[in-house]
Structure 1
Amino acid sequence: MTDRIVVTDYDFPDLSIESGVVDGAADVELRGEYARTPDEVIEAAEGADALLVQYAEITDAVFEALPDLRAVGRYGIGVDSIDLDAATAHGVPVVNVPDYCIEEVPTHTLALLLACVRKVPSYDRAIKGGEWDWTAGKPIRRFTGATLGLVGFGKLPRRLIELVEGFDLEILVYDPYVDAATVDAAGAETVDLDELLDRSRYVSVHAPLTDETRGLIDADALDRMREDAILINTARGPVVDYEALAVAVEAGDIAGAGLDVLPEEPPSTPPLDHDAIVYTPHVAFYSEESEETMRRTVTEDILGILGGSDPTNPVNDLDGN
């Protein structure tokens, strides 16, 4: 009997990498669709044994309507688009790719931060518009020796600490789920969120999107930040209250922001056009190498589960341990 893997949605040029993995397996069929909403997924994936998901929302209704599902794989690290409780209740393992962009996201975070600090996009636009004036970006503060606050302390911000080592930054960390000894070992200081916001010139968000972190950086949090502070978000858009951030930047309450993620992607209306905000289109994860690793790893994991193996990168615990 043939096992059916349905790719619910993808923005890759093709599914050649996934097909290359599946082609070596007997009695496995791979099919690509463009389904984003739960209803679209249910219609497109009827009879599927496994799903590969990029942006689609996988809700309890999807699990109810697709009783043959034996695995769901998410392209990437975050799994906030998948109802994990529903998956567990239906006995469906969910897997992700936790390590594929350990180099890319911290590098992009640093690139956004330096672009904001040195006002590179503003100078670029000015020169292309015929203006040659080095004073147009004033004031610019020295990067070396400043204080960097990390909201969340998983693998990505830990790698970021290594990347900024030569800048002699003071590193503060807020993460209630990481013990102080781990933070100390990385050369950083554990603080609560309020203290981090009070002290940091640069605040970089690395928290996953959960009920607890949604809107974590809200108007009150932004009000606590220094007027020379720069906020960087390469995590998930809804962790930051975007409307409050726009108000804070326009009012000069903070110095700027570098955003790779937004609450709505792509945004239905143009985001705030302000020289102090640098945007990129949720691309921090990307390099040719990381994309290939992501796609190959999650496909191999799904294929293994269908073949009777335990998940390599399980997200939910089906055994209740």
Structure 2
Amino acid sequence: MSETLRVLITDRPWSDSDIEREILAEVGAEVVDAPSGDEETLVEAARDCVAIATCWAKVTGRVIEAAEHCRVVSRMGIGLDNIAVDVATERGIPVTNVPDYCVEEVSDHALALLLALARNIGFFHGRTKRGEYDLSAAGAMRRLSECTLGLVGLGNTARALVPKARALGLTVIATTQSGNDYGTGCRMVPFEELLEESDFVSVHAPLTESTRRMFDAAAFGRMKRTAFLVNTSRGGLIDESALWEALQAGEIAGAGLDVFDPEPPDLQQPLFCDERVIVTPHAAFVSQESVVELRQRVAKQIAAVLCGERPASVVNPEVYDDGAAKKSGD
């Protein structure tokens, strides 16, 4: 192993790694940007690295196993479905994330999509840009104070959305596996009941084997024909083919999508070309402040591990509880 501590950044949507380089240089580490995020490239790039930071690239079991000197894998975000956490845990490697850095941004984005759908903003924008000025061309619009917003999942982002939605007069209900309302006062209902009652459904669930494609043909069949779906969580929660079929059949009124499966999506697909669907490029987490905060916190997590300290936001704490976490001198 080289004496230089090398930290691999698998992928990034920002232009440089200057923030990470500055923080990690203080602990004698250098940043290496992977030329691409495919598995074979990452396997080779990770071999002599002591840490891996990933945005959306998949840090598979093969990548982790190839990184024999790796001491930490850090998710530059919240969700963990692109990291083989189980493999990292078996190898005594802590995995970190930043679970609360963009709560305001994502809840704002979900609300923005809801409002754009409710007021036909996207539809009117597209039509007027083509030279058509016709109020009657759009679907019916409802008074928000007479509508219900259903939240699927009630984590930090969904909880931040609750008072914002209520300020507009929306009635807010929610569904979670536990039935816990986390002090929001939301009426908790089963998933199927939420689909049947809601005029807007906003998705805030993690992507797991049990939640993958939870929005399938059966789910869309339960929704109101006038309802809208908003997803700022994970693309894999929605069966995109089923969503397209539901739109064609008039089973729902439209959708606002910021996440996709895969990413980036094929924007030539009819779903994404439909006037009833608003598409944004996984932008919900972004603000100048949130991106700087994210990058600083991830770099500091890695620096902590390289200094032999326990980092913040460890998602597999058993590696420490079992005394198995890789030490800084390994």
TM-score by length of 1: 0.95
- From 11, 21, 24, the equivalent of 2:23 is 21
Alpha-carbon spacing, 1:43–1:294, altered in 2? closer, same or farther (3 Å): same
Per the alignment, residue 213 of structure 1 pairs with: 211
> For the residues of structure 1 that align with 2:171 and 2:141, how far apart are their CA atoms?
19
Displacement of 1:40 after TM fit? 1.2
The residue matched to 1:103 in structure 2 has which SS?
Answer: helix
Residue 258 of structure 1: aligned partner: 256
SS at match of 1:213: coil
- Displacement of 1:59 in angstroms is 1.5
CA contact (8 A) 1:112 1:278 kept: yes
1:230-255 Cα offsets, whole Å, 9 max, x none, are 00000000101110001111221101
* Whole-angstrom distance in 2 between the partners of 1:23 and 1:67: 22
In structure 2, the residue matched to 1:4 is 6
1:153·1:178 contact (CA, 8 Å) conserved in 2?
no
Q: In the alignment, is residue 283 of structure 1 matched against residue 283 of structure 2?
A: yes
2:212 is aligned with 1:222: no
Which letter does structure 2 place at the counterpart of 1:21? I
Which residue pairs with 2:126 in the alignment?
Answer: 125
Could you say which residue in structure 2 is the equivalent of 1:48?
Answer: 49
Q: Aligned Cα RMSD in Å?
A: 1.4
Query: CA distance change for structure 1 residues 314 and 145 in 2, over 3 Å: closer, same or farther?
Result: same
Unpaired runs of 5+ in structure 1? none
The correspondence of residues 163-174 of structure 1 with structure 2, limited to 5 A, is 163-174=164-175
Tell me which moved more, 288-297 or 160-169: 160-169
Deviations 1:70-115 (A, max 9, x none): 0011110011000111010011101111111011000000000111
2:326 paired residue number: none
Deviations 1:238-287 (A, max 9, x none): 10111000111122110111000111111235232111111101100001
Could you tell me the percent identity over the aligned residues? 40
Instruction: Name the structure 2 match of 1:242.
Output: 240
Unmatched runs of 5 consecutive residues or more in structure 2: 323-330
AA at the equivalent of 1:227 = R
Report the residue type matching 1:16 in the other structure.
D
Counterpart-to-counterpart distance in 2, 1:12 and 1:128:
30
- Give the CA deviation at 1:169: 1.7
How far off is 1:178 after superposition? 4.9
Match of 2:301 in 1: 301
Counterpart of 2:213 in 1: which secondary structure?
Answer: coil
Counterparts of residues 21-170 of structure 1 (less than 5 Å): 21-25=23-27, 27-170=28-171
Aligned-pair CA distance for 1:319? 4.2
What is the letter of the counterpart of residue 10 of structure 1? R
Listed one character per residue, the Cα deviations across residues 53-84 of structure 1 (whole Å, up to 9, x for unaligned) are 11221122122211111001111001100011
Between Structure 1 and Structure 2, how many residues are aligned? 317
SS at match of 1:149: strand
Structure-2 change in CA distance of 1:319 and 1:46 (3 Å): closer
Question: CA contact under 8 A between 1:145 and 1:167: conserved in structure 2?
Answer: no
How many Å apart are 1:35 and its aligned residue? 3.1
Is the contact made by 2:34 and 2:41 (CA closer than 8 Å) also made in structure 1?
no
Alignment check: 8 A CA contact 1:3 1:48 kept: yes
